Amino acid sequence: MKQISHDIVLGSSSPYRREQFAKLGLSFTASSPNINEERRNAETPKQLVKRLSLQKALEVQKSYPTSIIIGSDQVAYIKEEQQALSSVHILTKPLTIENAVNQLLACSGRKVRFVTGLCCIAPNAEPRILSENVDVTFRQLSRSEIERYIEIESPLDCAGSFKAEGLGIALFEKVESTDPHTLIGLPIIALNKILIELGVNALQNPNHLKLS
């Protein structure tokens, strides 16, 4: 396939997503979309992240109409038997130490599903939208372990109250995923496949940024 030259814009304010996308070595701009991220009534986690990913991409596209736009969103919930997905309690960014402690206590010894949405919009093409799941089984955690972890890493801006790319991995018993990047917030394998379909191949890009 012919290599196409397009500016790429990552519609995210997350430094974690920027670090992930940078692994492809493609030049890009980051732009933070300002949208209402409130969950709609009876909206499932999958529906929510796909809708927000699309809305983020469309919002950024207003400022970059000739670029390839990438939008992404992630939510998490504790998996429960006999529980309708439209009524699950979504784990949010804790923002406070107390909320982070309570979230991790609730996750202790349980399986938490992280649902990550991805949207890619290119000029003169239909939006490509998907979602991926990651299931994380947490160890049985004591309050002292949780409080110490939060003290060390301060994951107050992270959904689920941990940083999987850091010490948060010490909280886990098992991670089930088709792409280890998805848990951090961006399904890189799926995104790379979409970019190749759009004519942007990181391995054939003459302006590839050398990675240290």
How does DSSP classify residue 157?
T
pTM for this predicted structure? 0.89
CA distance 80 to 110: 9
Q: In this structure, how many other beta carbons lie within 10 angstroms of the beta carbon of residue 211?
A: 8
Cα 78 versus chain centre, distance: 17
Condensed to tens digits (0 to 9), the pLDDT of residues 136-174 reads 999 999 999 999 999 999 999 888 899 888 999 999 999
Q: What is the pLDDT of residue 48?
A: 96
**Residues annotated as catalytic (active site), given as ranges:** 73
Domains of the chain: 8-204 (3.90.950.10)
